[in-house]
Amino acid sequence: MPEPTPSPLGTAAPTAATPVGRTKRSSYPIEHFVADVDETPVRATDSTVSDAAPRSLWGEAWRSLRKQPLFIISAILILAVIFVALFPGLFTNEPPNENCLLENSDGGPAPGHPLGFTVQGCDILSRVVHGTQSSLTVGLFATLGVVLIGGLIGALAGFFGGWVDAVLARIGDIFFALPLILGAIVVVQLPVFQQNRNVWTLVVILVTFGWPQIARITRAAVIEVRNADFVTAARSLGVSPLGALVKHVIPNALAPVIVIATISLGTFIVAESTLSFLGIGLPPDVMSWGNDIFSAKPSLRSNPMAIFWPGLALSITVLSFIMLGDALRDALDPKARKR
């Protein structure tokens, strides 16, 4: 039991106006327990500074990223694919289009031709290696295009709201009603494009029908950041609306856009190959995995390997971008970032 304390009312007797004390009294004896102060030291209020080096958010994301097996695998794969696309000559000595002998048509593996031959009698390995470039170029530039256009439209819609948002959102909805492949089919068969079929026109088509997704993601991310107190604080410092958008809102809204952009890089590579596979993508003289799958289609039963190898290369490339996107999502997750 504690020492009896002096009556708290010792110095001031309650007047009539004093409310009656409302503390409850238990019917059971209650011990006054005090923990040993040595065992429960009171630390200085509110101190967290450690000696560790300062860590920015990107720094922290990078630290968690480089520990992830998913990231390591996908990063290595992507670097390898880029390397192959840049220096195809290092991986095969066979020229992809010459030396195609009809007598080799659909032939199996032979010395110097480890993966066998296509229906035209070309070396499969060489075609797969040389096809990397166009697939990657289309994917990369289409992604760049949608991030610029979709990102800009989404950011403006999200930040300014009101009628700007309403108009831009409706336009996005209209393009959304035409799925990527469907829209591309309509456009690709037009004479303008039939006469100018190449990597760049394909990029333009993919960007035209692909931007609404990034716009939606950016808009949502910007709206989330727009109302943050630090943006209000910047505005009350005298930063202009556009300044606040560029300096504070966009950098903080970037994470989900990066994630989706990485994944859509894979999606665009698939879209290119799907169109090529349908015979309406890249022209037949451009080497691409989709074109090779398209031309191997008729002899599927006799030579499935002619489809298998470009299909494998395509799948691995797309898989590595999707895995990278997944790994980035984990590292940049805004929920985990809060504290």
Partner 1 sequence: MSSSISSGGGRRAARNDTPARAASGGVQPLLELRDLAITFSTANGDVPAVRNAHLTVMPGETVAIVGESGSGKSTTALAAIGLLPANGRVSNGSIIFDGEDITSASEKRIIELRGSSIGMVPQDPMSNLNPVWKIGFQVKETLRANGLPSGPQDVAKVLSEAGLPDAASRANQYPHEFSGGMRQRALIAIGLSCRPRLLIADEPTSALDVTVQRQILDHLDTMTEELGTAVLLITHDLGLAAERAHKVIVMYKGQVVEAGPALELLTNPRHPYTQKLVASAPSIASRRIESAKKAGVATDDLLAPAAARGPSLDKVIEVEDLTKVFKIRGNWGRSTDFTAVDKVSFSIARGTTTAVVGESGSGKSTVAKMVLGLEGATSGSIKFDGVDITTLGRKEMFDFRRRVQPIFQDPYGSLDPMYNIYRTIEEPLRVHGIGDAKSREKKVRELLDQVALPSSMMQRFPNELSGGQRQRVAIARALALDPEVVICDEAVSALDVLVQAQILNLLADLQADLGLSYLFITHDLAVVRQIADHVAVMEKGRLVEQGTTDEVFDNPRTAYTQALLAAIPGAGLVLPPEVA
Partner 2 sequence: MVWYIVRRFLQLIPVFLGATLLVYFLVFSLPGDATAAICGERGCTPAVVAGLREQYNLDQPFWIQYLLYLKGVLTFDLGTNFSGRPIATIIAEVFPTTAKLAIMALVIEAVFGIVFGLIAGLRKGRIFDSSVLVLSLIVIAVPIFVLGFLMQFLIGVKLQWTNPTVSGDATFTELLLPAVVLGLVSFAYVLRLTRTSIIENVNADYVRTATAKGLSHRRVVVVHVLRNSLIPVVTFLGADLGALMGGAIVTEGIFNVNGVGNTLYRAVLNGDGPMVVSIVTFLILIFCLANLLVDLLYAWLDPRIRYA
Angle between helices 124-160 and 162-176 (to 10 degrees): 150
Give DSSP secondary structure letters for 68-82. -HHHHHHHHHHHHHH
Residue 273 partner contact from partner 1, partner 2, none using kind-dependent CB cut-offs of 5 to 8 Å: partner 2
Residue 319 partner contact from partner 2, partner 1, none using kind-dependent CB cut-offs of 5 to 8 Å: partner 2
Residue 232 partner contact from partner 2, partner 1, none using kind-dependent CB cut-offs of 5 to 8 Å: partner 1
CA distances from 2 to 10, 31, 33, 181, 259 (A): 19, 8, 9, 81, 62
Rounded to the nearest whole angstrom, what is the least distance from the CB of residue 329 to partner 2 in the complex? 10
Tokens describing residue 126: 């060489």
Q: Is 242 in the site for partner 1 (CB under 8 A)?
A: no
Name residues contacting partner 1, limited to 45-104 (CB under 8 A).
45-50, 54-57, 60
* 192: three-class secondary structure by DSSP: helix
Given the rule CB under 8 A, which residues bind partner 2? Answer: 170-171, 173-179, 181-182, 185-187, 189-192, 194, 266, 270, 273-274, 277-280, 293, 297, 300-301, 304, 307-308, 311, 314-316, 318-319, 322-323, 326
Which one, 70 or 246, has the nearer CB to partner 2? Answer: 70
Which one, 72 or 300, has the nearer CB to partner 2? Answer: 300
Angle made by CA atoms 162, 216, 332, in degrees to the nearest 5: 120
Q: Which stretch binds partner 1 (CB under 8 A): 158-166, 193-201, 207-215, 229-237?
A: 229-237
The secondary structure of residue 23, as a DSSP letter, is -
**Nearest residue to 58 via CA among 331, 242, 301:** 331
Distance CA 147, CA 91 (A): 32
B/e letters for 50-63, b = 16+ CB within 10 Å, e = fewer, are eeeeeeeeeeebee
Q: Is 110 in the site for partner 1 (CB under 8 A)?
A: no
User: Would you tell me which residues interact with partner 1 (CB under 8 A)?
Assistant: 1-2, 4-5, 7-12, 14-15, 17-35, 37, 39-40, 42-43, 45-50, 54-57, 60, 228-230, 232-239, 243, 248, 251-252, 337-339
